[in-house]
Each structure stands twice: as structure tokens, then as C-alpha cells.
Amino acid sequence: MSQYRKETLCIQGGYQPKNGEPRVLPIYQSTTYKYDSAEHLGKLFDLQAPGHMYTRISNPTVEAVENKIAALEGGVGAVLLSSGQAANLFSLLNIAQSGDNFISTSSIYGGTVNLFAVTMQKMGIEVRFATPGATDAEIEELFDDRTRAVFGETVANPALDVLDIERFAALAHKHDVPLIIDNTFPTPVLCRPFEFGADIVTHSTTKYMDGHAQVVGGVVVDSGRFDWTKGDKFKELTEPDESYHGVVYTRDFGEAAYITKLRVQLLRDIGAAPSPMSAYLLNLGLETLHLRMERHCENAQIVAEFLEKHEKVSWVNFPGLTSNSQYAMAQKYLPEGSCGVISFGVAGGREAAVRFMDSLKLAAIVVHVADARTCVLHPASTTHRQLTEQQLADAGIGSDLIRMSVGIENVQDILEDITQALDKA
């Protein structure tokens, strides 16, 4: 199956029914699984036989969707989680413990900033932020012998900075740690970070993957390519896990060591598991991901070019504009388009921005991004309001910034709505 192209994987990846089985992925709405012998179940508990034990850890519907996403990203395995927040937390908690640190670009989603700088800090895991423009030398100064990973977003939400994945992968690998990429905005349809040296990919599947604003979810994907045995940084993977009678993940699971540990240890203990119904709905979204991304990019390009020429718009940020500072980087990593999200400022500042938003009829004001319906948001007063002025500046968010998530409606209708709302701004 993995030899197929992304369009085919979106539709048929992860689930291949055998003779007489349902054509469409069934919802296995069951918490438990039946076994003929206690011995077999014992083997499952010891991780010596494959199979499902309990839906907190794995489930056939969930597994099919995990396999689809792993195939789309080109990884060896994936774990679906109940949210994107859980995915980013798990991706790091799987290889870092109290006393360790990791490096993250500062241009990332506001919820992730809070997770890293507040909650993980309380767990004793320190984040060290590097601005996207930091030089190699400045970033290298942040590493020490307790650094366990480097983290960044392919296309930052909402600053829309495009990460130089190859540069960050080289820096991480020079210090024998993996590069973790949150690939939420481009999705594997537009960018596959493993092809540029990333080791782990995360997503908030809540966004384009589901694409219909129906299910909160997340996923962690393992490339299987990082060598955890090099050096002595990842003892949790290379030494016996006492909670599994001495399983050694790298020895027993090879290239799937990281993703296996994440499932059988973190998901078992912390339990941020998705429901089978959520996985089923996510799968429906994934079936049209390739079609939707194409239209999101096409519409966003037209809207961005329109806004750029409009006299009431003071600036437009969209990596697909030739005038954009990210254009060259986007051409390298996202040649088919970056996403459907645009940010811009309305001339007249914060008040004009609010009048514009309140006058929109087709586009709705919602705390969401990246679904089929066009929507707008003012991050400084909503999703990012917990951030300090400095954190806002580091994340590239001005107080006049409007984030517009361009949907897949008829683009003429979107342009007409924007025009009438700008007239009132």
C-alpha cells in the first residue's frame, strides 16, 4: 500500500478489507477484546504478541487511521491521541524527563508555548526558545548534555514563518538529538518533513486532517530513522523498562522503538486516547484531504493577492506571495502551496480590524482554523491572549493581526464578503 501516491493513500491507506469484510472502515466501538486463552493474553501484556488488549492503548479503527497517517508521512508507525496538545506533550515526554531540556523555535502555536513554558516547566523539563532568525551559532549555544530534542512548526500558526527544516535537522543531529516537527498546517499532502531530515512529526488532526471542524485530535508519527542507541542520551529507550519486565525498546522493536514506547508506556499511563468514533470521523476527513488542500491553497492565493492590492489593507502575510519574506523557503519546502491561512492588518489598527471582523457575513469569527469554512480570528485578543507582549512579538503576532483561514467555498463569494466588510472597516 505504501508504494501508492498520497492521493491514493488518503482514500485507501490503512484499511484493506479481506474477502467479505466491510468495504468501509468499521467503527469498533468496544473497549475490550476476547481471547481464547489466558496464556495468549499474558503474551500481549508482555508485548510478545501483537494484538489489541484495551482501547486506551489500541483499537482496530484507531489503528487503521494511524497506519494511514504513517503511510502519508512516510513513517514506520503512528499513535493517534485525543488532541494536538497531547501529541506535542507525548512527543517530548517520550524522550525527556525532569532535569532535561529541549530547544524550540519561538514562532509556534500559542497553546504549545503555554504547554512548553508553563506546564512542562512544572514537570522539570525546560524549554529553550530560539527565534526563527537565530544564527546556527546562537542556536548551538542553547544545547548542553541534557538537551533531548529540537522542536519547530513547518508553517507557524499564526505567524506563517516557514521553518528551514534541513537547517534545524542538521543542528539537532550534530548534537545527537531528534528534530520534532509539528506539521499541522501543511499536512503530508503539501510537505513531508521526514524527506528533509525530521525524525518525528506531530499534528493537531483537529485542523486540515479532519477538515470539517468536528473532532479534536492529534497524532505522533515516527520516521524510524533516528538512532537512539548513539550516545547515552536516551536510556529510557535503550535500557530495560521495569514496567514491562525489562523490555528494551531499541532491542525488541528496532526502528519502531520510539513509537512503541510512546504507546505502551505513555498512552497506557496517561491515557489521552481517542475514541473509535473520533478516529472514524478523522478518517472520513482524510479521504478528501488531498482535494481540500489543493482548493484551500488555490483560494488562499487568490485572496492574498486581492488583499495585497486593497487600499484598506496595510500588510499581508502569506508564504505564496512573491513579495513575502518566506517565499523562497516556501518554494523549497512547500512547492504545491503552504496552507489556506493568511494573516493581514487592516489600515486603522485594532478598531478597524474589529469593525472588519464584525461586518463579515460568510466568514465567521471562530476559535478555529483550517477547516472547510472560511473563518477569521484576532489572535492577540483570543488564542494568544495569555502571552506577554514579548512572547507575542517573538511569535510574530502584532495586535492588528487578523488571521483568516480561507475555506473551500467559491472564491468569488469569499472576495465579495471581504470587500463589503473592508468597506465598513
Ligand X SMILES: *Cc1c(COP(=O)(O)O)cnc(C)c1O
Q: How far is the CB of 225 from ligand X (least distance, A)?
A: 23
- In the structure grid, which three cell numbers stand for residue 118, read together? 508553563
Q: Quick one: which segment of 79-87, 261-269, 285-293, 395-403 binds ligand X (CB under 6 A)?
A: 79-87
Binding mask 190-209 for ligand X (x = CB under 6 A): --------------x-xx--
> How far is the CA of 336 from the CAs of 6, 110, 121, 133, 192, in angstroms?
13, 27, 38, 24, 12
Binding mask 109-128 for ligand X (x = CB under 6 A): x-xx----------------
Is residue 184 near ligand X by the rule CB under 6 A? yes
Q: Quick one: which segment of 50-58, 89-97, 104-112, 355-363 binds ligand X (CB under 6 A)?
A: 104-112
* 248 within 8 A of 239, measured Cβ to Cβ: yes
Q: Report phi then psi at 219, rounded to 5.
A: -150, 145
Looking at beta carbons only, is 81 or 352 nearer to ligand X? Answer: 81
**Closest residue to ligand X: CB criterion:** 84
Looking at beta carbons only, is 165 or 422 nearer to ligand X? Answer: 165
In which residue are the cell numbers 503530508 written?
188
Q: Quick one: which segment of 106-114, 169-177, 300-308, 318-326 binds ligand X (CB under 6 A)?
A: 106-114
Q: To 5 degrees, how large is the angle CA 76–CA 341–CA 299?
A: 105
Pairing of strands 147-153, 200-204: unpaired
* 215 within 8 A of 279, measured Cβ to Cβ: no
Looking at beta carbons only, is 204 or 265 nearer to ligand X? Answer: 204
Is residue 187 near ligand X by the rule CB under 6 A? no
Out of 65, 92, 216, 316, which residue is the one contacting ligand X (CB under 6 A)?
216
Alpha-carbon distance of 218 to 42, in angstroms, equals 30
Q: Quick one: which segment of 82-90, 133-141, 318-326, 393-401 binds ligand X (CB under 6 A)?
A: 82-90
Q: How far is the CB of 342 from ligand X (least distance, A)?
A: 15
> What amino acid occupies position 333?
Y
Is residue 153 near ligand X by the rule CB under 6 A? yes
Q: Report phi then psi at 352, rounded to 5.
A: -65, -35
Q: How far is the CB of 105 from ligand X (least distance, A)?
A: 12
DSSP string covering 88-147: HHHHHHTT--TT-EEEEES-S-HHHHHIIIIIHHHTT-EEEEE-TT--HHHHHTT--TTE
- Strand (E) or helix (H) holding 382: none
Alpha-carbon distance of 383 to 392, in angstroms, equals 11
Q: How far is the CB of 8 from ligand X (least distance, A)?
A: 26
Q: Quick one: which segment of 5-13, 107-115, 315-323, 405-413 binds ligand X (CB under 6 A)?
A: 107-115
- In the structure grid, which three cell numbers stand for residue 29, read together? 466501538
Q: How far is the CB of 11 from ligand X (least distance, A)?
A: 23
Per-residue DSSP letter, 151: E
Out of 182, 210, 222, 371, which residue is the one contacting ligand X (CB under 6 A)?
182
Size, binding site for ligand X by CB under 6 A:
16
- In the structure grid, which three cell numbers stand for residue 348, read together? 486603522
Looking at beta carbons only, is 88 or 223 nearer to ligand X? Answer: 88
Binding site for ligand X (CB under 6 A): 83-85, 88, 109, 111-112, 153, 157, 182, 184, 204, 206-207, 216, 218
